Structure 1
Amino acid sequence: MGGFVSTPSTLQQPIETTNDSLRPSKLLFNVTIHNSLGTIKVLMLPEDNVRDLIKAVLVIYDKGKRRPLLRDTDPNCYHLHYSPYSLQSLKPNEKLKNLGSRNFFLCLKPRISSS
């Protein structure tokens, strides 16, 4: 159940290297979207944040014309979790290098009903 590893064109930038430390220039993340088959694999910079990862995953999913079609492609409508069983979502401004995992679960935020 593999997939393509892609980097959105907006995130493809040259990386400056320094000799004083050997850090990975990009990290590979696997994100499963609720109700979809397989994972989205995306390369991101360690300095990017959770919001950037959500946006990149949605762009790749939509560009790949994957099924089922997403009800909404606005990154602000989604939460990123460590797993489908985790109730706590990650903070949008959290740096990817600080997360401690490379596998995540993306789901729509619950709708607020106005009653």
Structure 2
Amino acid sequence: MLLYKQKKNQAAKVNRFLISVTFLGSAGPIRFVVKEEELVAAVIDTALKSYAREGRLPILGSDLNNFMLYCPIAGIEALSPWETIGSMGVRNFVLCKKPEAEKANESEKLPRKGSGSWKSWFNKSLNSKISSH
């Protein structure tokens, strides 16, 4: 009986939260619940599966190695696939495909920083909403 109560209390300590993942070029974000200690790679995989299950366009594919997850608040660097999703302390993310040049460099085992392609898209979208009077 005591062992059962301990397991129940340990399971209750798992922190879960709702995240929102926006896909570049898609209509809107996908929201789902994740565990705080879940890896970024697992979150990318879940997001891609949810995107495909909903039949969204454009069709992206399912290889999580072709995508990068960004936290727009934290900067222009992509999150490492081995980080935990709760380490950032945020709930909103942007998922985009890796540029072809970066995929080629990755296969050569050369380290490369994120290209910031989502940042230029984000700046363009902000500039189009700001009107000059």
TM-score bucket of the superposed structures, by smaller chain: 0.7 to 0.9
The answer to whether residue 35 in structure 2 is matched with residue 33 in structure 1 is no
- Runs (4+) of structure 1 moved beyond 6 Å? none
Question: Given residue 88 of structure 2, which amino acid in structure 1 is its aligned partner?
Answer: L
Count matched residues.
96
The answer to whether residue 61 in structure 2 is matched with residue 94 in structure 1 is no
For 2:95 and 2:77, the matched residues in 1 are separated by 12
Greater relative contact order (Cα < 8 A, sep 6+) = 1
**Per-residue deviation at 1:44?**
1.0
Q: Contact conserved, 1:25 with 1:46, CA < 8 A, in 2?
A: yes
TM-score by length of 2: 0.63
TM-score by length of 1: 0.72
SS of structure 1 residue aligned to 2:37: coil
The answer to whether residue 66 in structure 2 is matched with residue 77 in structure 1 is yes
Report which of the two has the higher share of helix. Answer: 2
Q: Contact conserved, 1:84 with 1:105, CA < 8 A, in 2?
A: no
For 2:18 and 2:8, the matched residues in 1 are separated by 18
Unpaired runs of at least 5, structure 2? 1-6, 105-133
**Per-residue deviation at 1:46?**
1.3
For 1:102 and 1:23, the matched residues in 2 are separated by 19
- Identity in percent: 29
Q: Contact conserved, 1:78 with 1:108, CA < 8 A, in 2?
A: yes
Q: Contact conserved, 1:81 with 1:87, CA < 8 A, in 2?
A: yes
Counterpart of 1:105 in structure 2 is 94
RMSD of aligned alpha carbons: 2.4
Deviations along 1:5-34, one digit per CA (max 9) or x if unpaired, are: xxxxxxxxxxx6427xx7454211100001
Larger Rg: 2
Question: Given residue 36 of structure 1, which amino acid in structure 2 is its aligned partner?
Answer: S
Question: Given residue 68 of structure 1, which amino acid in structure 2 is its aligned partner?
Answer: P
Counterpart of 1:7 in structure 2 is none
Deviations along 1:90-114, one digit per CA (max 9) or x if unpaired, are: 0101112211101000000110287
